[in-house]
Structure 1
Amino acid sequence: MMQLPPRCSELNPVENVWQFMQDNWLSNRIFKSYDDIVDNCCHAWNKLADQPWRIMSLGLRQWAHGF
């Protein structure tokens, strides 16, 4: 097993999850307050949590399964 290099976001699968949430549910919005930001982030997270197949597909690395 090899450690990931530090500050290498393209190798970290969770970065794809955050990017997907931002692209689909959080971008191009104006939030009224901090609580509005938290509410929208929680709503986006819960929508994604209801789709475990999507989380799996976002986290898969084709090159990692070739070994």
Structure 2
Amino acid sequence: DGAAWHQAHLTKKFNNLSIIKFPLYSPELNPIEQVWQWLRQNELANRCFSGYENIVDECSRAWNVFISDTARVIKICSRDWIKVGS
């Protein structure tokens, strides 16, 4: 999206990291957007939180549920056009 904090200069020290630039306004191409959607739909929807700490706790719990299923993570985050591995 071109935001200053999303710039590639921060990743130059990682030799095993490739930068894939997405077109502006294309959240459907960004795997993390599908993660947020899954978290909202499956773990965080229709909830009332009692405060900040409760939000953080529930988001952490939801994240742990999400990552507990490796197959789910791979299915949601992988893209046919992104080469994973060496």
Q: What TM-score comes out, normalization by structure 1 length?
A: 0.82
Match among 63, 71, 82 for residue 53 of structure 1: 71
From the superposition, tell whether residues 2 and 35 of structure 1 become closer, same or farther in structure 2 (CA, over 3 Å).
Answer: closer
Between Structure 1 and Structure 2, whose CA radius of gyration is higher?
2
Q: Specify which structure has the bigger relative contact order, considering alpha-carbon pairs within 8 angstroms and separated by 6 or more residues.
A: 1
Match among 4, 20, 31 for residue 49 of structure 2: 31
User: What is the deviation of 1:6?
Assistant: 2.3
How many percent of aligned residue pairs carry the same amino acid? 38
Equivalences, count: 64
**What is the Cα-based RMSD across aligned positions, in Å?**
1.8
Q: Which has more helix, going by share of residues?
A: 1
Q: Could you say which residue in structure 1 is the equivalent of 2:3?
A: none
Structure 2 portions without partners, runs of 5+: 1-18
